[in-house]
Amino acid sequence: MEKTKYSLGYRNSYVLQQYRCLLSIFTGFIILLFMSNTAFALATNPGAVCSNSFSQGSLTNADYTNLVSAVNTNNYVNILGNAGGSIPLQVKMTTVESSTSTVKSNFGVITTAGTSAINIQRTFPNISAYTDIIFDFRNALTSQPIYLTNVALSAFDIDYANSNGNTFDDFVEITGVTQAGSTISGTFQPITGSNIMFGQPPQGLQGLFTRTASDPNCTAKNLGTQCQGSVQFSQPVASVKVRYTNTGYLNSATNQEIDLRVDNYCYVPQYIFTGTVFDDNGGITAAQANATNDDITSSGSIYTNKPNYFNGVFNSPQESGISGSTVKLVNCANTATTYATQIVNTGSPIGQYQFSVPIATFNNNTNICLIEEYSGTAYPIRTTSDNKNTGFTTTTYLYSNNDFGRVIAANAALVLKKAQYINNCPNTLNYTDPSLNTANNGDPKTGFSTGSISNMTPGQCIAYRITATNRANIPIDNFIMQDILQKKGVNNATVTSVLTTPAREANVFNDGLSNGQNGTIKTISQTLPKRDKRIFYFNTKYGTTVDTQ
């Protein structure tokens, strides 16, 4: 910062002497003006470089404003200097004062020649007091720490004063935290025209300060090169701390200030795929689940009004993740080509998986799928496909909510109920007669019933009503109902049953059976709509011992 270190004295002289003096002052002003156009210009941090395959970013002017506005709020700021989204960076900025007696004159943003920086002004109570400015880096897509490479920073207006009642000796220490958790110092980046050096003053720290015979007392807030000190971290870091204090060469400290910029960071763009393998029970617990409950309308049924049950969507917190699955990132065209494999979390958050991979992983392929495989037995039924196409493009970096649903057997979508009615084989039997389809009928001789059959007379018929109920909130595609007619000698059957009149519903069955034949009753492939029922009827003659086929 600029402080007057001397005063001009004037004395009377001849006009010629005054003219010469004025000419010298004017010449000196021109020289100083020329110097200001060079020495007071911000220099590029030599460490502001990135290797091939890395995206390169730096804080924008708006980023400085946003960070200062959010300082000490514990909030992360979305960084605009994100290389077109390829560096998903959020930063949280915090300050820590070592002494409550420190006078915090300013913590704001200054802009010089279109370039912004953070300005920190302090009056420290002693030479060992300090202010820490901490930058924490977080991945905007995953909310996890992000380790940036070649993080480079510059501090400006690092100078000293020891006259006219103003005493200070700026010292700036810049450290970072690596992925291993260790703290490292930024590596000094020499700048042509700068008087700043890197070393260890009496305070015992490693950092930036000025210590030459011709050190200037720099102009404040102009981001000048002479008082600019720059560093770059040799390892990726997820946090940077800038400590502003005094060197300890002087015995006291008064009003002092520096400016600070984040010049550079590098990052290999990562493509992130996330999701959860979950229990798609819609809140129907294992204790409540019932594999035979086909009631989806009565108020007393657990399966009534359950829009989140078996809908293929992870509805948290009503539903939770489950363990036991492995998820693979694969080539859709050749799923044997696996790019990454992960067992889903067994702890919190249970069932979750996440892949973070660079573009080089895919070897120029953009047809990327996720496959889920389950190794357990508790959740055997899928509610989603086991193969999801991610819709991958090179300009999109986050692919979230690639969830896979499963349920226990008792929460299966399809419920098949088989009722039977003993009849005397009339050709005019009306399957849908209301009198034959009364609810909770316990006698199969009076109508369709799930009750047991006894005292059957050979030659009588048994009509069957098979009800297929889709309890799920998604349709069941490619549904085919099959029922095997009993045959003597097979599965302990003592008699053979054959298909008989009346005719079955047209355009529903696709088994090729005619009346008098034994075999498998089979419907056409069809879609069973969500939350719906389909009923199938047919009649069989019981007790025939002659194989008519």
pLDDT computed for residue 1 by the predictor: 58
pLDDT at 29 over 60: no
pLDDT at 312 over 80: yes
CATH number of the CATH domain containing 500: 2.60.40
Residue 44 lies in a domain: no
Number of domains in the chain: 3
Helix/strand/coil for 227: coil
Mean pLDDT value of segment 72-84: 97
Mean pLDDT value of segment 211-223: 80
Nearest to 526, CA basis, from 467, 475, 471, 473: 475
pLDDT, greater one: 226 or 459: 226
Instruction: Answer yes or no: are the C-beta atoms of 524 and 506 closer than 8 Å.
Output: no
What is the rounded distance in angstroms from the CA atom of residue 187 to the CA atom of residue 182?
Answer: 15
What is the rounded distance in angstroms from the CA atom of residue 397 to the CA atom of residue 445?
Answer: 66
Residue 388 lies in a domain: yes
pLDDT at 129 over 70: yes
Q: Are residues 433 and 525 in the same domain?
A: yes
Q: Are residues 89 and 143 in the same domain?
A: yes
State pLDDT tens for residues 390-401: 999 999 999 999
Residue 460 lies in a domain: yes
Helix/strand/coil for 455: coil
Nearest to 275, CA basis, from 314, 315, 331, 319: 314
What is the rounded distance in angstroms from the CA atom of residue 460 to the CA atom of residue 444?
Answer: 13
What is the rounded distance in angstroms from the CA atom of residue 510 to the CA atom of residue 479?
Answer: 13
Q: Are residues 227 and 238 in the same domain?
A: yes
Q: Are residues 421 and 381 in the same domain?
A: no
Q: Which of 362, 379, 411 is the last residue of a domain?
A: 411
CATH number of the CATH domain containing 246: 2.60.120
197: part of which helix (H) or strand (E)?
strand 196-199
Q: Are residues 75 and 91 in the same domain?
A: yes
Q: Are residues 69 and 205 in the same domain?
A: yes
Nearest to 362, CA basis, from 340, 342, 339: 339
Residue 35 lies in a domain: no
Instruction: Answer yes or no: are the C-beta atoms of 425 and 501 closer than 8 Å.
Output: yes
Mean pLDDT value of segment 465-486: 97
For residue 382, give Cα distances in angstroms to 248, 325, 459, 472: 69, 12, 44, 12
Residue 10 lies in a domain: no
State pLDDT tens for residues 43-70: 999 999 999 999 999 999 999 999 999 9
Q: Which of 229, 245, 268 is the last residue of a domain?
A: 268
Cα torsion through 299, 301, 305, 309, rounded to 10 = 170
Mean pLDDT value of segment 475-484: 97
State pLDDT tens for residues 162-190: 887 889 999 999 999 999 999 999 999 99
Residue 74 lies in a domain: yes
What is the rounded distance in angstroms from the CA atom of residue 64 to the CA atom of residue 42?
Answer: 17
Helix/strand/coil for 371: strand
Q: Are residues 65 and 203 in the same domain?
A: yes
Tokens representing 173? 């220490």
Quickly state the pLDDT bin for 13 (edges 50, 70, 90).
Answer: very low
pLDDT computed for residue 30 by the predictor: 42
Q: Are residues 429 and 387 in the same domain?
A: no
Q: Which of 210, 242, 268 is the last residue of a domain?
A: 268
Instruction: Answer yes or no: are the C-beta atoms of 435 and 517 closer than 8 Å.
Output: no
Quickly state the pLDDT bin for 41 (edges 50, 70, 90).
Answer: low
Task: Indicate the burial class of 163 (C-beta count within 10 angstroms; 0-12, 13-18, 19 or more).
Answer: exposed
Q: What percent of the chain has pLDDT over 70?
A: 91
Mean pLDDT value of segment 458-470: 95
pLDDT computed for residue 15 by the predictor: 33
Residue 440 lies in a domain: yes
What is the rounded distance in angstroms from the CA atom of residue 1 to the CA atom of residue 106?
Answer: 14
Q: Are residues 282 and 174 in the same domain?
A: no
pLDDT computed for residue 6 by the predictor: 33
Q: What is the mean pLDDT of the chain?
A: 91
What is the rounded distance in angstroms from the CA atom of residue 111 to the CA atom of residue 221?
Answer: 8
Mean pLDDT value of segment 201-206: 79
Mean pLDDT value of segment 186-213: 88
CATH number of the CATH domain containing 385: 2.60.40.10
Q: Are residues 66 and 214 in the same domain?
A: yes
Q: Are residues 65 and 208 in the same domain?
A: yes
Residue 446 lies in a domain: yes
Expressed as residue numbers, the domain containing 490 is: 414-543
pLDDT at 521 over 60: yes
Q: Are residues 245 and 276 in the same domain?
A: no
DSSP state of 453: P
Least reliable range by pLDDT among 357-371, 449-463, 465-479: 449-463
pLDDT computed for residue 375 by the predictor: 94
Mean pLDDT value of segment 405-418: 98
pLDDT computed for residue 459 by the predictor: 84
Helix/strand/coil for 18: helix
Mean pLDDT value of segment 445-468: 92
pLDDT computed for residue 453 by the predictor: 87
